[in-house]
Amino acid sequence: MTTYLLAGGGTGGHVNPLLALAEWIRVNEPDSVVLALGTKEGLESKLVPERGFELLTIERLPFPRKPSLYALKFPFKFQRAVKEIRNIISANAVDVVVGFGGYASAPAYVAAGKNKIPFVIHEANALPGMANRLGARKASALAVAFKSTKLPSAVFTGMPLRAEIESAISQDSKSVSRKHFGLDETTATLLVTGGSLGARSINEAVSASESALDAAGIQVLHIVGNKSELPEVRTKSLVRLKYCDSMDLAISAADLAISRAGASTVCELGAFGLPSIFVPYPVGNGEQRFNAADLVEAGGALVVEDSNFTFDYVRDRVIPLISNTKLLHQMAKAAKAASISDGTNRLYKLVRSVLPTNSNPSK
């Protein structure tokens, strides 16, 4: 029996791979214990308990970026968090810590080191976050979701994918998936998504292009996000949803995807071998462009700047592409060849390899 402490959270990009590994462990080691570490404010506070795992929380501690009263207090708050996690490790006889980035990860790495137990880091983004960059120096093992991620001695495991995604990859269920959404089973299908909150620029351009897409014989599955003002619609050529809880079916139904380039999304679309057009989020440190780079270089995807994704782009580039079945087939083959569909098992094996009393993984 092994006790795992999985640390991370804040956003879906940190929480989803954490949960994928947690569920893999639960299936393959039913006698082992899986604990999650996060904050009360992050997405993990909702998703982790929903999946049946215990969530332990510490104070949310962003790294200070400029001089302030908080910056003066930060070292003391950080050491207090480390102490709390060391107590958690001792009280639960934790054997290994696995961190996925986010506010809980950095103090967890320090705590693991002080308690002399191994810790493994998984970096989901092509452009590493601060917590993982710092923790990488002393990690027992380091996994990355993208080949191009620049971290020393990293193992390319790919992204831990949700079980339903991994299962759907191996199935030929395009017609069944289209039927699930009320779409025609034989018509070329465009999937559009900007994530759970949506992407205004993508939504506006695709909404303005609906007539042109329909005229070209293309049906659209458009997931606009919970914050979008666009209403839900179901017509012969358009299914517009606020939220989709069956992304495995949505991806299976499509011939081409238009999407933001969040790490999980890029890896899921690539693993499916779904040709994609990525519209990276234009705010922040540009990490989404880096996330898409490997697939674009392999020939499995295209990338377009947010400001250039307009009605004209949909008319001049998207419609000709989705109508070119030969090119789509080439892109699909390239995307699949450049991607990893068993990232959860690869990460699991890497974690098992650092345990002092290592045993062979079940799969």
| 166 vs 339 pLDDT, higher one | 339
Q: Residue 54 has what pLDDT?
A: 95
Q: Residue 362 has what pLDDT?
A: 46
Q: Residue 63 has what pLDDT?
A: 83
- The answer to which of 137-146, 188-197, 299-308 has the lowest mean pLDDT is 188-197
Q: Residue 42 has what pLDDT?
A: 84
- The answer to which of 65-69, 135-139, 277-281, 324-328 has the lowest mean pLDDT is 65-69
pLDDT per residue over 315-328, tens digit each?
999 999 999 999 99
Q: Residue 11 has what pLDDT?
A: 77
Percent of the chain surpassing pLDDT 70: 97
Q: Residue 173 has what pLDDT?
A: 86
Fold (CATH) for 164-337: Rossmann fold (3.40.50)
User: What are the residue ranges of CATH 3.40.50.2000 in the chain?
Assistant: 3-161+342-353, 164-337
pLDDT(363) > 50: no
pLDDT per residue over 28-38, tens digit each?
999 999 999 99
Percent of the chain surpassing pLDDT 90: 79
- CATH 3.40.50.2000 fits domain 3-161+342-353: yes
Q: What is the bridge-based pairing of β-strands 141-144 and 155-156? A: parallel
pLDDT per residue over 69-99, tens digit each?
988 998 999 999 999 999 999 999 999 999 9
Q: Residue 196 has what pLDDT?
A: 61
User: How much is the average pLDDT of 267-279?
Assistant: 97
The residue written with tokens 């014989």 in the block is: 217
User: How much is the average pLDDT of 301-322?
Assistant: 97
Q: Residue 359 has what pLDDT?
A: 52
Mean predicted lDDT score pLDDT of the chain: 93
Distance, in Å, from the CA atom of 358 to the CA atom of 363, rounded to the nearest integer, reads 14
pTM of the predicted protein model: 0.90
DSSP sequence for 60-113: --PPP-S-SHHHHHHHHHHHHHHHHHHHHHHHTT--EEEE-SSTTHHHHHHHHH
User: How much is the average pLDDT of 160-165?
Assistant: 90
Confidence of residue 226 (pLDDT cuts 50, 70, 90): confident
Contact 270, 288 (CB under 8 A): no
User: Chain centroid to CA 95: how far?
Assistant: 26
